A and B are shown apart, each in its own frame.
Chain A
Amino acid sequence: MYIYLYDNFLRQKKYDSEIRAMEVRLTDYGIAGKILRLTNYIDAKQIIDDEIKRGAKTVVIVGNDHTFGHVLSRAATCECVFGFLPIGPDNTIAKVLGIPVGVGACDTLAKRRREKLDIGWMNNRYFVSRLQVPPAKVKVIYDGKFTVSANDLMEVVVCNLQPFYYKSTKKDSNQQEVHPQDGKLEAFIRPLTKKRFWGYNYESPSVFPFEEMEIVGDSAFAVEADGKTSKEIKVKIKLAHGKIDMVVGRDRKF
């Protein structure tokens, strides 16, 4: 039995036709199911657990990166198969998973190519794709053994599935990328050095594969994980041993 979790933004009229087309395609494949609408105040884990008790085997997230993060940050450990139907803008995770945006995603879902995905654990929630700390005065402690710090601000990006893209300067036309490796989380650290008068320059990144790390700041700093932003003083990140069973596309990037 399939359960579809629709994000609240899909109520907008502009998505009506696309959703209708998707629902027709899903019915054609014989995988249509119960539809539940998510709001900000709904705990996805509780809903999914309830539906699993009623016999749900596959939970399909319908929305964008934000929806994906919102559901899986809590419900990653649920005993079911997850699917994803990306709709609208802000769909970078879908690209990593090899799922086309729009009606084409129904074909991928119907094919049920399943993969076990590593997930990261941050303070009290999971992240699947990427965690990012925008430039701030922080230091990073790896596995309690060594500390990495910079003289000034530092940007930290922890990649699980999504590759890390960077440019050495704003005007740099060559965008460079580093691919995360499986079985570990990768932390990309980019210190900023002050320009002569004002502004900052990004240095080339440092790469540290790890299983557990702590980001500590003197003051609160922003943390963005799977499109969800929060303010923290101390973030403990580790590779969670539980894995998500997920339906992915053939063109996945891992």
Chain B
Amino acid sequence: MLFSKPSANVALENEPSDSSVYAPPSDDIETVVGPSVNVEGDFASEGNIIVKGSVAGSVHTSRHLSVEPGAKIMANVRAGSAAIAGDVRGNIKVKDTLELASTAKVVGDIEAAVLKIDSGALLFGKVSMPGLQQTVSENRSAARGRVGGKRAEAQILDLEG
């Protein structure tokens, strides 16, 4: 046993003979990137994604993305919602809620509807929120209008003078 080669049987030995061990399958389709696994390329999934290893390229899911402590993502990320506790180097675009845990390290721009950052999380990048973008642009246009109006008034006064 001491010098035994790794075999598939190790993983599959003593399979339960009792049918009561079986549990009903879950409905959620879930992709798990385990530790010491490297994923390269356009990593897309229709279901939830849990990352414990490293991913390079791009990550896209319409549902939840969870980046565990110790995981590394060197990619642009797009997800429905996300909880990040590992390293991310790339831009993050989340439709719904983005949570950065205390162990999270993010280098890149963030776009999310709701952002929750725990104390201790590290973030280097620009944060933008879709709700706020509208009001900012409205304020800018209003300000331009006001400036333009004052100039017009001044011109009228000059002409009268």
Evaluate contact between B16 and A165: CB separation under 8 angstroms: yes
Chain B residue at smallest Cβ distance from A190: B11
Flag whether B136 is at the interface (Cβ < 8 A). no
Are A165 and B29 in contact, with the CB atoms below 8 A?
no
The interface residues of chain A lying within 8 Å CB-to-CB of B25 are 179-182, 254
Minimal beta-carbon separation of B146 from chain A (angstroms):
51
Instruction: Report yes or no: A151 in contact with B11, Cβ–Cβ below 8 A.
Output: no
* A29: Cβ under 8 A from any B Cβ: no
Binds A, one of B33-41, B98-106, B108-116: B33-41
B19 at the interface (CB under 8 A from A): yes
Task: Verify A147–B39 contact, CB threshold 8 A.
Answer: yes
Say yes or no for B147: interface residue by CB 8 A criterion. Answer: no
Interface size class of B (residues with CB under 8 A): 35 or more
Whether A165 lies near B47 (C-beta < 8 A) is: no
Distance between A135 CB and nearest chain B CB, rounded to angstroms: 5
The reply to whether B8 and A205 contact each other, CB–CB distance below 8 Å, is no
Q: B36 and A253: CB pair below 8 A?
A: no
**In the bound complex, do residue A203 and residue B39 qualify as a contact, i.e. CB atoms below 8 Å apart?**
no
Distance A135 CA – B7 CA, assembled complex (angstroms)? 7
* Chain A residues whose CB sits within 8 angstroms of the CB of B4 once the complex forms: 199
Do A206 and B33 touch (CB < 8 A)?
yes
Minimal Cβ-Cβ distance residue in B for A183: B29
B36, B39, B41 interface centre (most CB from chain A within 10 Å): B36
The answer, yes or no, to whether B157 is at the interface (CB within 8 Å) is no
A93 CB → nearest B CB, Å: 12
Would A209 and B47 be within 8 Å (CB), given that A95-B19, A135-B8, A175-B14 are in contact? yes
CB distance from B7 to the nearest CB of A (A): 6
* Residue contact B7 to A193, C-beta cutoff 8 Å: no
Closest chain B residue to A151 by CB distance? B36
A177 close to B21 (CB less than 8 A): yes
Kindly report which residue of chain A lies nearest to residue B24, judged by CB atoms: A179
Q: Using Cβ atoms and an 8 Å threshold, which residues of chain B touch A149?
A: 37-38, 40
B6, B38, B40, B43 — most chain A CB neighbours (10 Å): B6
Q: Mark B1-32, 1 if CB is under 8 A from A, else 0.
A: 00110111011111110010111111101111
Hey, what's the 0/1 contact readout for A130-164 against B, CB within 8 Å counting as 1? 00101100000000011111110101010000010
With an 8 A cutoff between CB atoms, is A115 at the interface? Answer: no
Question: How long is the Cα–Cα vector from A3 to B57 in the complex, in angstroms?
Answer: 53
A-B interface, 4 closest residue pairs, ranked by CB to CB distance from nearest = A146-B41, A206-B34, A179-B25, A134-B8
Please give the residue numbers on chain B whose beta carbons come within 8 Å of chain A beta carbons, in ascending order. 3-4, 6-8, 10-16, 19, 21-27, 29-45, 47, 52-53, 57
Chain A positions within 8 Å of B, measured between CB atoms, are 92, 95, 132, 134-135, 145-151, 153, 155, 157, 163, 165-167, 170, 175, 177, 179-182, 184, 189-193, 198-200, 202-209, 224, 251, 253-254
